[in-house]
Each structure stands twice: as C-alpha cells, then as structure tokens.
Amino acid sequence: MPGRERRQQLIIEILQRQLVESQESLRHTLMGRGVDVTQATLSRDLRELGAIKTPRGYQLPNAVAASPLDTSRAIAPMARTLASFVTNIEPAANLLVLHTGPGHAQIVAVEIDRAELPGIAGCLAGDDTIFVAVVSAHRAKELAREFLRLADLQPDNGAGR
C-alpha cells in the first residue's frame, strides 16, 4: 500500500478508535505508529477523508453512520459548516429554522444548497436565521434530527432560543 493510502488508513483507524482533539495530537499518535507527517499533509489528509472538527474533536463522516443523509464527501463541507456556525435548529411544519451567529446565515445556506439533499426545496437566509423549505413535515423532522447531530447540538425540547 503506497504511503498516502497507508497513512490515510491509519488516520481512519485512529479516529474510529479514539478521541482526537487536535491535528497535533493526531500527528503525535501517527508518529507513535511510525508515520512522520507534516501538519500541511495531515491537514490535506483530513480534508480528503472528509473529517469534521467538532467540539469533541475530529470525526469522520462515517461516524455520521446510519444516517438518512448521504455521508459522502459532498456532505462533509455542509457538516463542518453546521458544526461551526449553527446554534439552534427547529422544525416548523415543513420548514426548518436554523439560527446562527450574526452574519453567518448566508454561509450555512450556501452549503445546504450545495449538498443538494433530497426533500429540500430551497433556503432563504437573513443575517442570523435560515428558513429551509422542505417537501413535507415528516422530512423536515428527519432533517432536523440529522442537522442537530451534524451540528453537534442537542434537541431543544421546545425551550426556545
């Protein structure tokens, strides 16, 4: 197995087995397994693998397993964006209402549109709020659960913002 493939396979194994909070931590773990890698190469490997930086550390898109969403590389940018900017997600009939910090709604809406998820008719973004039009209330609830998970948020339980 060539060096890049072997290194990426090791990264996958490490991320599946343990919590990795930083690239430096991952780099040291790889060095312990005999793989010396620069930060730039490690960053590129993580991007190619679709790894997502969450508050708990790096996760692979297949850690998003058993998900109604496709976990391909097309979803990884959206997942990273949700985790970085979304603060709350609420289903409202056949809409999803996503809240972000000021000025971040457009960024999130663009990534949702780019993901071309089934059941989404479109997005409308303001400054800190996004309305996602979904084809049915049932699909909106499914997407809300999935987006909450990808954003690393807990369901709101009706408590509001």
87-123 residue pLDDT tens = 999 999 999 999 999 999 999 999 999 888 888 999 9
Asked if residue 67 has pLDDT above 50, the reply is no
Asked if residue 24 has pLDDT above 90, the reply is yes
Contact between 120 and 49 (Cβ < 8 Å): no
Integer Cα distance of 134 and 68 in angstroms: 15
* CA-based nearest residue to 108, from 120, 122, 98: 98
Distances (CA, A) of 77 to 53, 74, 105, 109, 129: 11, 7, 15, 12, 19
Fold of 76-150: Gyrase A; domain 2 (3.30.1360)
Domain residue limits, the chain = 3-49, 76-150
For 46-161, list the strands marked E by DSSP. Answer: 52-54, 57-59, 86-92, 95-100, 120-125, 129-134
Fold of 3-49: Arc Repressor Mutant, subunit A (1.10.10)
* CA-based nearest residue to 69, from 151, 132, 142: 142
pLDDT band at 50 (very low <50, low <70, confident <90, very high): confident
pLDDT of residue 68: 44
* Helix or strand (DSSP H, E) at 140: helix 137-150
pLDDT of residue 97: 97
